[in-house]
Amino acid sequence: MMEKKVDLSVNIAGLGLKNPVIAASGTFGFGREYSAFFDLSMLGGIAVKGLTLKPRKGNPPPRIAETPAGILNSVGLQNPGVHAFIKDEIPFLRRYDTAIIANASGNTVEEYEEMVRILSDADVDAIELNLSCPNVKEGCMVFGSTASGIEQVVSRVRKSCKKPLIVKLTPNVTDISELARAAEAAGADAVSLINTLLGMAIDAKTRRPVLGNITGGLSGPAVKPIALRMVYEVSRAIKIPVIGMGGITTGTDVAEFLLAGASAVMIGTAGFVNPYAWVEAIDGLEQYMAENGFSSVSELIGGLIV
């Protein structure tokens, strides 16, 4: 008699995923490069590269700097624009059995509204509202760093949003739970956190910043303890689902975020070190559950013993 496999499926505000592991926005492009390494259908979902109304060149180089336990990036939302994404990238992604989450950015409330209207009529499964990119001077951080700013944008886009709406939160604030409550009150279906922590690197020999933009967003294993703490706090402050991210590398890391209160996770920076990070994390989570007597992911979510 074959041993029954564990149930990895999750549901995020009506968005069904075969497993809780999503490729994080900004680290996976549109999936083309990683499709050479593994079948993208193995993923629960793909949050595509941050999109804007018009094509964007991004910040001046250098845009990536390695740190002792992660990377700093200041890419600045380089992307081909939302219309090129719909025309060229969605048909490619639809070859695979995985959820497509479009990440939308804007410089004004009106741009966010237009982005959501366009994406609501496109063949995507959910929209992740990027209110937290630390490498863009306009838009994201202007709205995403205050509860009133989040409430303003989310309440406006909610009126035209026909897809599950995920709001991505910044950790570069005093109280992230306050932002999560504002997103929930304004109509968000879920929140995702954390985006990168603002940092910088200096070359002591040249006495110059390493990054062309001077500062950038820190991601990777170094941010995991902060991300876990914030996911734990936010999951207890709101009733809508939380998608956790920040330094996740292994299946055990995934389990920790689920125990802290996340209903799903996103993995990003780990893929730069190991292009199989996502599928190995899925396998690792399955092994963890089998070894510890869990039959479904739902049993793990919020299961931290305190």
Residue 183, phi then psi, degrees to nearest 5 = -65, -45
Tell me, yes or no, if 133 is annotated catalytic. Answer: yes
Residue 226 host element (H or E): helix 224-237
The size of the chain, in residues, is 306
Residues facing residue 64 across a β-bridge: 73
Q: Where are the alpha helices (DSSP H) in 46-146?
A: 82-84, 90-93, 109-120, 140-144
CB half-sphere exposure, 102, CA atoms < 13 A: 32
Report yes or no: 300 and 294 within 8 Å, Cβ to Cβ: yes
Which 8-state DSSP code applies to residue 175?
A: -
Q: Hey, what long-range contacts does 301-305 have (CB within 8 A, 24 or more apart)?
A: 301/10, 301/258, 301/259, 301/261, 301/262, 301/263, 302/235, 302/258, 302/259, 302/260, 302/261, 303/258, 303/259, 304/232, 304/259, 304/260, 304/261
DSSP string, 258-303: HHHT-SEEEE-THHHH-TTHHHHHHHHHHHHHHHTT--BGGGTTT-
In the set 86, 104, 133, 245, the catalytic residue is: 133
Q: Active-site positions?
A: 133
